[in-house]
Homo-oligomer: A and B are copies of this chain.
Amino acid sequence: MAAHILLIHCPDRPGLIAAVTGVLFQHQLNIISNGEFVERTHNHFFMRTEFSGAVDLVHLEKDLREALPTDVIIRLSAQRNKEIVVLASKEHHCLADLLVRHYYGELGATIKAVISNHPLLEPLVKKFDIPFICLPHDGVDRNQHENSLAKHIDQFQPEFIVLAKYMRILSAGFVARYPNQIINIHHSFLPAFVGAKPYAQAYERGVKIIGATAHFVNDNLDEGPIIAQNVIPVNHTHNAKEMAQAGRNVEQIVLANALGLVFDERVFVHGNKTIIFD
């Protein structure tokens, strides 16, 4: 029997957990795992419940709404693969990792298409029988290019858009079309080295650790809610190119971890932060 996931958030008040788990108990559902968190600055309550059992979702949602205050946001769904579109440019490492995981059914998502502003990665994508769409940006203005990009994306109705080293900046207008749906892997330990060429910056600054950050994209470049980060040590013998090389393994793993959390509905976005039940 497939598991279901219940996500709830609302201003905190006493009795919320009792109310939710009481309704699940009445429906004879079995809680597999349960997480709660209260964000103290805004006193906001978050709860994620995985449960199994024969369930009438419409009836259950109705009973939950009746048992809970009216300002509670409820999201109730069966666990299933998400549908995504991947954007990439010229670097293959993150994309190849996603393609292999997808091929073996480990991604938690179906890749509907890969869209790139360069033709370079087409042979790789073709090996895995995924549609590859090339949208060069040369001689096209940003607006036009983004409109074309959006049109191609929208035909697949993806739940998430994954930027797997997509090296074009997306406008605020484009990003606003897909709120909390775009996930980027940034090749630095944000907020250090915001912007372009973070490895060159890291080399210039002489840091002893470099990292990668997976985050939702909002309208401020490199400033959306962070989902996952990781780091590796470097030293004075690494030049900027070698730092980039060393950083690729980290980028690949951080992106895969972040996607695993998002596709499994473990991530709440709250203001500019994430609440993660892992």
List 12 other contacts, CB 8 Å, given A14-B31, A92-B104, A189-B192.
A14-B25, A14-B28, A14-B30, A17-B31, A32-B38, A33-B38, A41-B239, A103-B124, A206-B273, A209-B211, A209-B230, A236-B274
A235 sits at the interface (CB 8 A): yes
Chain A positions within 8 Å of B, measured between CB atoms, are 14-15, 17-18, 21-22, 24-25, 28-34, 36-41, 92-93, 96-97, 100, 103-104, 124, 127-128, 189-193, 205-209, 211, 225-231, 235-237, 239, 249, 253, 256, 272-276
Number of copies: 4
Chain A at the B interface: mostly helix, strand, loop or mixed?
Answer: mixed
For residue A37, which residues in chain B have a CB less than 8 angstroms away from its CB? 33, 236-237
CB<8 Å pairs between A and B, sample of 9? A14-B29, A14-B31, A15-B25, A17-B21, A33-B38, A39-B236, A40-B239, A96-B100, A235-B276
